[in-house]
Structure 1
Amino acid sequence: MNESTYHTVVIGAGQAGLAMGYYLKQLKQPFLLLDRWQEIGEEWKRRYASLMLFTPRLYSSLPGLALPDDPQGLPTKDEIANYLKRYAENFQLPIQLQTGVTRVHKKNNDFYVETNRGEFKAANVVIATGPFQKPRIPDFAKNLSPNIVQLHSSQYKRPTDLQIGNVLVVGGGNSGAQIAVELSKERQTYLSVSQKMKFLPLKIGKKSVFWWLDKVGILKASHNSWIGRKVQAIGDTIFGSELKEAIGNGRITLKERTVHSNETVLQFKDKSILEAQNIIWATGFISDYSWLDIEGVLNDIGKPIHNRGKTSVPGLYFLGLPWQHRRGSALLQGVGDDAQYVMQHIQTRN
């Protein structure tokens, strides 16, 4: 097995990995970004065709390179994919694509990153694989008939992916909301949610709601601050008015949490049932660090144990996690601050 040695290896070349690369260049030490996709931005291109960010361009840029065009406008997913590719080229970041990590372990003071394309040795490793790793689908989905079209939201691309008939979208986050609204324009649509939904407008006056959230300090609030704890307690917020309007005019029928299924019938928390022809599981993702062979960095449910990305293992860091430090840590507009913090810690350590 070939071995290459670097000061720092970054696992993942999405928005978090690229931001990390931007700051690592300042250390003038050899580093490498590894990514499993065939091209930069591919993960964004694979998302559903109509996807638009709810954060405006003003709050959707990585450090050092602003996203062009109207700063108050909302970028499309293809726009973000192209921007990430341009970002990597602009800063000439060293990236090796089509490289899947199979194991990371530590021996003495060095990390060894095993991949399908050889082994890499490094003094530091930054895990920037983000929160969207393994689709979460409830176990009872296996009870459903193969005649039902079932797709996770990460697999859904457009309405033509579905067969004739109604559709149940399970999950009340922003992806589930956008997909349900799109599908409701052409078929009977049901949306299953586990709790009462909270809505925020995309704009207040002529400014993005994120401009206002920034001005009152919510975007910069740390996860353990009073404001940060309050925002986390609120949970997911649906941005925009389209879903509320679609529910109000009857295009989308709300259902309670989906709790059971059998063949073609799904049952909800209130004991009501629905016979569905199509199901979109907008039920989020779970972390998958099965390749991380280092003790003491994951908790009992497999989530990273860290302090703003720093772990108890010297030289091992995480980046791009939800609320890693503040609300935007997993988003384009916030990951840069965390990347700079990790870089400064690496610089001090070395």
Structure 2
Amino acid sequence: MRPSKGTSKTKEGEIVSVVRFRLEPTKEQEQKLFRTFYLCRKLYNHALEERIIIYRENGVSIRYTDQQNRLPVWKQSQPEYKEVHSQVLQNVLQRLDQAFINFFEKRTRFPRFKNKFRYRSITYPQARLGYFHKDGYVSLPKIGLVRMIAHQPFDPTAVKIINVKFHDGKWYANLTYATESVPLITNTNNAVGIDLGLLSLIATSDGDFFANPKWLQKSEKRLKRKQRQLSRKKKGSNNREKAKHHLQAIHDHVANQRKDHLHKVSRSLVNRYDLICMEDLLVKGMMKNHRLAKSIANAGWGRLATYIEYKAKFVGKRVVKVPPHYTSQLCSGGCGTIVKKDLSVRIHKCPKCGLEIDRDTNAAINILRRGLEILRQAG
């Protein structure tokens, strides 16, 4: 599961999540979907160009509502857009508007025009119960009844958004749905602190360790070989497309291995503990360290934190994030001594109280104490 795509209004107390299922469209449905991608991409690029031109000529920015109001006129001048559901077209403009919001908030660069490889999904932002059929099909307006392989049960009445995506030769449906939140468990006796690391993915305050498999490093030789093969292929040729597909397949395999491991680790922690305390790390800032960026990305700290948080919400358990400063240096033996040490030093040795313990376990104990103190102060 991942953060939701599209727009959706949720009630207070609801938990929004996304589940991905495989789709098996027919050849005719595939042609309709690719045609829809083309038309949506064309609209996206037209709307982006319109924004740029109006700003250059008038010095003012137009917004989503301005372009949405022009949409009926655009559809009249372009009859082929009758093939696309109106809400899908509105979502195209919403995507562009969100791209500009992200740019102005300095989260990404200026929106760019999309080619056929960069526009591979459409969104139905107001899904209805009638879209889903008991025989394993989902009804996509303007596309038809598409077979959907639901590998786990879900509540069709709770689905708010349907995102259809084509990736690496396969079709997926990302269903955004809302469920009622569960009352929080107030008991804090069954609590744990966790320290995220690179040698071990997680060290807990109980002295347990979760391995960091380093999937990317294990596949680097294959990736480099496939990348060299791709660079030798002629641009625009079928062989280059095949080589690109093979390279993408390896990247997808590594990503799936990582996500599977993170799901298992997060599930284990949420099942075992009622309160999980962890560091509030600025992962994006840490990724600017080029010596550690690849290792941090491969470990998936940010994704793991997200998995733990949403899994805990579903069962009413708590996650408390604490300030990360000095968690590794502070002695957890109770003496309060700051024992400075480099990353290469893996054992915490306190000269005052004599405590000798793994540095990551020491940090996890400090994280747990800070989490409990934050809860105590919050009342």
Structure with the higher fraction of residues in helix conformation: 2
Report the TM-score when normalising by structure 2. Answer: 0.20
Larger Rg: 2
Report the TM-score when normalising by structure 1. Answer: 0.21
